[in-house]
Structure 1
Amino acid sequence: MVEKHRFRWTAEDKKKENLDNVAKDILYKNLDKNMFTKIKTCSTAKKIWEKLTQLCAGNDQTKENKLTFAIQKFDNTEMKLEETLSEFDERFSGIIIELIYLGKEYLTVKFPCR
């Protein structure tokens, strides 16, 4: 791909460049210093987003490990003695949201009697 010189840019090219700069600015403002150092060499907002996705989601093996761990948390979930029903619901809902994020959905949930 050959890049155009700025003096040959059309109005559409200028608009796209401006939108890319706005997107990069939003991404930069929402990153901590550690994450910023990992993406600072990316030249476009799209490349920044792809890098962040890769860093946060991980590779297939990482995703599989996260899913396995989340399933174990789900399977071993019990209400603690000192926990209120509201606290348990919040904790359990967090586990369900994590599973959905990782691609696993439970349509019905049955708790065994203990």
Structure 2
Amino acid sequence: MTHPLYLKILKHEVPEATEGNIVIPGHYVSKDPSTYTKQENEKVSFDSSLQLILIESLDNVMYNNIINCESVKQIWEKIDILCEGTEEVRSNQRRILISQYEGSMAKPKEGITEVFERFNKLINDLQLHEKFYEAEEVNLKFLLTLLDHLEQKISAIREERYLGRINLEVLYGILKTYELEMKQRN
């Protein structure tokens, strides 16, 4: 995740007790609050506030998963893994989405609206998984995904060579208008 709050949480640590000025990695021992410096008090207050915000926003199932976390950083990392999966899971999801994009085609008797909604969701999911395509490529792929009854309009759009200057929603609007006009004529 790249949410700004997440970046702030990752840099945040609650004060840890040391043994002879040595912090034992992976071993969390909270420092005696009476020995906190002003900065450490601010960090603990910030951590407590964020924990409260996160905990109050969770449902019971998610709450049960984070109940034993000792800091907001641990809570956030656990929520991230539970919701998004590990990097390996995200990588596999990205590959699956790319495969779906490459093989996307309109289904029989599927209208342009259904095709657009499904295709647009796929593009959004790809972007969430950090896979981006140029507007021209997305628009061309969308055109190639559509059914034959729009073939004349698709050919006209492709000949105009402006696919890189419009977004997918505008392209959908053009094709939807054409489809409605064709239905009205028939």
TM over 0.5: yes
Gap runs ≥5 in structure 1: none
Gap runs ≥5 in structure 2: 1-15, 18-29, 149-186
Identity of aligned residues (%): 28
**Hey, what does 1:52 align to over in structure 2?**
79
Give the letter for the 2:83 counterpart. C
Deviation of the 1:15 alpha carbon: 1.7
Deviation of the 1:49 alpha carbon: 0.7
Cα–Cα, structure 1 residues 95 and 12, in superposed 2: closer, same or farther, change >3 Å?
same
Number of residue pairs the alignment of both structures matches: 113
Which one has more relative contact order, counting CA pairs under 8 Å at least 6 apart? 1
Task: Mark the structure with the bigger radius of gyration.
Answer: 2
1:22 aligns with 2:49: yes
**Matches of 1:21 and 1:11 in 2, distance apart?**
15
**Hey, what does 2:97 align to over in structure 1?**
70
TM-score, normalized by length of structure 1? Answer: 0.79
SS at match of 1:103: coil
**Hey, what does 2:62 align to over in structure 1?**
35
TM-score, normalized by length of structure 2? Answer: 0.52
Q: How does 1:74-89 map to 2 (within 5 A)?
A: 74-79=101-106, 81-85=109-113, 87-89=114-116
**Matches of 2:72 and 2:31 in 1, distance apart?**
19
SS at match of 1:106: coil
**Matches of 1:103 and 1:28 in 2, distance apart?**
28
**Matches of 1:18 and 1:90 in 2, distance apart?**
45
